[in-house]
Amino acid sequence: MEFGKKLFELRKQKNLSQEQLAEKMGVARQTISKWELGETSPDLKQAKELSKIFNVSLDELVGNNIQEIMSQKISNTEKLAGLILKLIKIFGIAFTSFIILFILLVILFRVNKNNETKVLREESIICTIYNEEHSFDIKYDELTGRPIELGGDAYFSDILDLDKYNDAHQIFNVINDYVKRNGGTCYMEGTNS
């Protein structure tokens, strides 16, 4: 609806004459007439004053369809919200997939590490001490030196508490040092498994 027609309708609804409206606005009656005929338009200050007099928004005063504008804004907002939700879902799925993949890789790496082929070595230290021969056998991981199985003559196990050591070479050194301190000799025999 054109501004002039809207102004005419609003004026009639309030039972105001052009003269009465002109007086409230502080303009001549002819100005109101020209506005209603569409020959001229009020400036922004005058339009704001008209909206106060008729208790309507500027949009309603100039004939803008507020519902259509609001529907368009709501529609645009809904579209934007939908797009944002889709992006959040995609990001969430991607992030969750990344976390699951990371966990699977860590598990796979650990399983693979635990299944590495261990190079096992079996060695025996054979010592003569106090005119007696004693031997001590160790099966161990050659890469780490970690003992897997201890055995042989209980003589050294009883005296030296060899279970407390985590390295096969350290065990051999402890036995060898003990035997040498007590006037004996040792030699090594070994095989790879």
Give the tokens for residue 183: 């006037």
What per-residue confidence (pLDDT) applies to 174?
A: 93
* Same-domain check for residues 72 and 50: no
What's the rounded mean pLDDT across residues 29-48?
A: 91
Q: Which of 45, 64, 83 is the last residue of a domain?
A: 64
Of the three residues 64, 81, 103, the one that is the final residue of a domain is 64
Q: Is the pLDDT of residue 70 over 80?
A: no
Buried residues in 44-81 as b, exposed as e (16+ CB within 10 A) = eeebebbbebbeeeeebbbeeeeeeeeeeeeeeeeeee
First to last CA, the chain: 98
Strands 185-192 and 147-152, bridge-based pairing: unpaired
Q: How far apart are CA 35 and CA 29, in angstroms?
A: 10
Q: What is the mean pLDDT of residues 61-73?
A: 71
pLDDT computed for residue 116 by the predictor: 58
Judgement on whether residues 160 and 173 belong to the same structural domain of the protein? yes
Tell which phi-psi region holds residue 133, choosing left (phi > 0), alpha (psi between -120 and 50) or beta.
Answer: beta
Contact 87, 31 (CB under 8 A): no
| Stretch 75-92: mean pLDDT | 88
Report pLDDT for 123. Answer: 92
Domain of 45, CATH number, reads 1.10.260.40
pLDDT, tens digit, 9 for 90 and up, residues 86-99: 999 999 999 999 99
How far from 44 is each of 30, 47, 166, CA to CA, in Å?
Answer: 19, 5, 91
Same domain, 26 and 89: no
Phi, psi at residue 149, to the nearest 5°? -150, 130
Query: What is the distance, to the nearest Å, from the Cα of residue 104 to the centroid of all Cα atoms in its chain?
Result: 17
How many domains does one find in the chain?
3
Quote the pLDDT of residue 73: 76
The pLDDT of residue 118 is above 80: no
Give the residue numbers spanning the domain of 12: 3-64
Query: Does the pLDDT value for residue 106 go beyond 80?
Result: yes
On whether both 185 and 139 belong to a single domain, the answer is yes
Query: Are 162 and 130 within one domain?
Result: yes
The pLDDT value given to residue 163: 84
Region 141-151: mean pLDDT is: 87
**165 and 103, same structural domain?**
no
Name which residue leads in pLDDT, 167 or 191. Answer: 167
